[in-house]
Amino acid sequence: MTVMSFDAALPVIFMALMGISMLIYVVSDGYDLGVGMLMHRATAKEKDMLVASIGPFWDANETWLVLGIGVLLIAFPKAHGVVLQALYLPVALMLIGLVLRGVAFDFRVKARETHKATWDRLFFAGSVLTSVSQGWMLGRYVSGFGEGWNYPLFAAAIAAALPMAYVLMGACWLVMKTEGELQDKAIGWARIAWPPVVAGMILISMATPWISATVRDRWFALPEIIALMTIPLSTAAALYTVRAMLNTQIVRGPLCWLPFALMIGVFLFGFLGLAYSIYPYVVIDQLTIWQAASAPESLKFILVGVCISVPAIAAYTIYSYRVFRGKTGELKYA
């Protein structure tokens, strides 16, 4: 058995770091994007509670997106050029959405009551635009930026499904963070979001092997398919448990956190499936991680910075979630 040298392992380390960063971003910013997309369903007072539930966390959540893109830029410059060239427009739209969210989030604090509804609508619009753009980018990336009518159709399907998954995640977050009437509403919102999420995941799971021969060969080869079946089965079990719990009083008590935790599991299983499908590529069927990586000397230098910055980001994130754990209180500004 050949042991991989440290120089050869460096691109794998950075690919894993980039993947983990993007997973943390999708999970953490996914729920607050979902909360943003639920703003139009809440009353004026409830909107303040929705904002308060994500206020202490959302800046920290987006740090992981910056880290993931930064790793792509400096560790895999060839892939960075290919990806951004193919996704220039949706990346620009995502950034516009993020800016809209940030501006609306801050301006609604000082806005007059007559203008506050406008900023709430902009926060909702920014959340939708960001989520749809991310779904489109994911669809194009998974399909290897292929050309033909079926590739944009596949990307459009994910662009529709990902926002619904974020909404379900956001509703489960609100179940965990709120009480009383708003918690009851959040349970109802989660029930509404659950069927399209399940339908979207089934259709996309069926379409992905059709759209990519590489993915099809990976998933339907024996004996690998036997072990890989644990991923869709675990995902199905987690989604079923979420729906079953929404019909019980359990989510209104001490286990109110469990649906949100199960949704994190759903995203984790999806990440594991995606990682298996594309490895060892950075851009599927185009660039492997070794072809796209910077020189080993550069990666070693970058690794020093990563060993300092990543623990700091992780510590800040964990600290913020620890300090602001528990149910959300009334929104107040000093």
CATH number, residue 310: 1.20.1630
Strand partners, 281: 288
Q: What mean pLDDT, rounded, does the chain reach?
A: 86
Q: Is residue 2 one of the residues assigned to a domain? A: no
Q: Is residue 1 one of the residues assigned to a domain? A: no
Query: Is pLDDT of 1 > 60?
Result: no
Residues 6+ apart with CB under 8 A from 152: none
Q: Is residue 192 one of the residues assigned to a domain? A: yes
- The residue that leads in pLDDT, 38 or 324, is 38
Q: Is residue 330 one of the residues assigned to a domain? A: no
DSSP string, 188-223: HHHHHHHHHHHHHHHHHHHHHHHH-HHHHHHHTSTT
Q: Is residue 331 one of the residues assigned to a domain? A: no
pLDDT value at position 331? 53
Tell me which H or E stretch contains 282: strand 281-283
Mean pLDDT, range 27-33, rounded to an integer: 90
Query: Is pLDDT of 222 > 80?
Result: no
Helix (H, G, I), strand (E, B) or coil at 46: helix
Mean pLDDT, range 102-128, rounded to an integer: 84
Preceding peptide of 311 cis, ω within 30°: no
pTM, full prediction: 0.91
> Which pLDDT band holds residue 330 (cuts at 50, 70, 90)?
low
> Which pLDDT band holds residue 279 (cuts at 50, 70, 90)?
confident
How many domains in the chain? 1
Mean pLDDT, range 214-229, rounded to an integer: 77
Q: Is residue 333 one of the residues assigned to a domain? A: no
Look up residue 211 and give its two tokens: 């759209």
Domain limits for position 183: 10-323
Cα–Cα distance for residue pair 176/255, rounded to 1 Å:
8
Query: Is pLDDT of 12 > 80?
Result: yes
Q: Is residue 120 one of the residues assigned to a domain? A: yes
> Which pLDDT band holds residue 211 (cuts at 50, 70, 90)?
confident
> Does residue 45 contact residue 324 with C-beta atoms inside 8 Å?
no
Report the residue count for the chain: 334
pLDDT value at position 131? 94
Cα–Cα distance for residue pair 62/68, rounded to 1 Å:
10
